[in-house]
Amino acid sequence: MKREVQAILLVLLGSAVLRISLFSDTYLRYVRAALRPYLITAGVLVVALGVLTAVAALRGRQPAEHDGHGHDHGHSHAHGPRIAWLLALPAVVILLVAPPALGSYTAQRAGNTVAKPDGATGFPPLPAGDPLSLPLSEFEVRADWDPAKPLRDRRVQLLGFVTPKSGGGWYVTRLVISCCAADAVTYKVEIRGAQMPPANSWVTVTGVWQPEADAGRSDAVPVLNASQVVPVPQPRDPYA
C-alpha cells in the first residue's frame, strides 16, 4: 500500500469521525454524548496524521524518481499494512450511509430485563406533577420494584419509540446505552387503549399504570392504559 493511499485512508477516517462529532450530532446515534471531545480530538489527530503522511509521500517522491524504478519505495515505511484497506469500510458507511439509531428491530429482539436495584436503600418519593413526566426506565423500575407502589393512580407521561408486539399490541420503548450502541439495553412498556402509531416513530404517551400479577419479576413488562398518544420528533440523543 502506497503512502498516498495511507494518507487518503487516514484523512477519510478522520473526517468521517469529525463529520459526525464536530459538524453534527450524528455521533449520538452510535455512542454516548460524553465521548464527543475525545472523538473530535481523535478525528483532528487522524486527519493531521493523514496530511503529514501525504506531505511526506510527496516530498519522499523526489529523490526516488530518478532511480528508474518509478516511485515510492524510498524507505521501508512507504508500504503500509494491507489490512488497512478495511478502514475504508467504516469511513464509507459513516460518510455515505450514516445508519440511523437503533430502533424497534433491536427492541423486539431484546429480552426485557429490569434489574432489581441492588442498593436496598429504598426509593425517594415521586415528584409532583400531573401528568408526571418520567423516563421510561424509571417508570419500569418503579412499576416492577418499588414496594410503595407510588405509580398507582398517577397520570404519567412517557417518551419513547413505537415497537410492535408480536401477536398484536405495541410497546413504547427506549434503548439506553452506556458506551456505544453495541451495549444497548431495552426498556419497554406495553400500551393499551390506543391505536398503534407507525413502528419506530417517536411518541409521548400519557396514561395510568395498570398493575399486573407478574410485577416484581425481572422479566415483567409493565402496562400503561393510555389516554393520549402524541407523535413527537426524535430527541437529539435517542439513547439518553
Residues 72-101 interacting with other proteins (rule: CB under 8 A): 72-77, 79-81, 83-90, 92-94, 96-97, 99-101
Q: How many CB atoms lie within 10 A of CB 90?
A: 13
CB 127 within 8 A of CB 157: no
Q: How many residues bind other proteins (CB under 8 A)?
A: 86
Site string for other proteins, 109-138 (x = CB under 8 A): xxx-xxxxxxxxx-----------------
Sign for the pseudo-dihedral over CA of 216, 218, 220, 224: positive
In the complex, least distance from residue 42 CB atom to other proteins, rounded to whole angstroms: 4
Separation of alpha carbons 127 and 131, rounded Å:
11
In the complex, least distance from residue 211 CB atom to other proteins, rounded to whole angstroms: 21
In this structure, the chain runs to a length of 240
Site for other proteins, residues 170 to 199, rule: CB under 8 A: 177-183, 185
166 binds other proteins (CB under 8 A): no
Strands 132-134 and 155-164: parallel
In the complex with other proteins, which residue's Cβ is closer, 38 or 232?
A: 38
Site for other proteins, residues 38 to 77, rule: CB under 8 A: 38-39, 41-43, 45-46, 49, 52-53, 56, 63-64, 67, 69-77
In the complex, least distance from residue 93 CB atom to other proteins, rounded to whole angstroms: 6
Site for other proteins, residues 3 to 42, rule: CB under 8 A: 4-6, 8-10, 12-13, 17, 20, 27, 29-31, 35, 38-39, 41-42
Q: Which residues contact 116 (CB under 8 A, 6 or more apart)?
A: 144, 145, 218
219 binds other proteins (CB under 8 A): yes
Q: Which of 215, 195, 217 is nearest to 205 (CA)?
A: 195
146 binds other proteins (CB under 8 A): no
In the complex with other proteins, which residue's Cβ is closer, 209 or 239?
A: 239
Separation of alpha carbons 96 and 160, rounded Å:
27
Rg of the chain, C-alpha, whole Å: 25
CB 181 within 8 A of CB 187: no
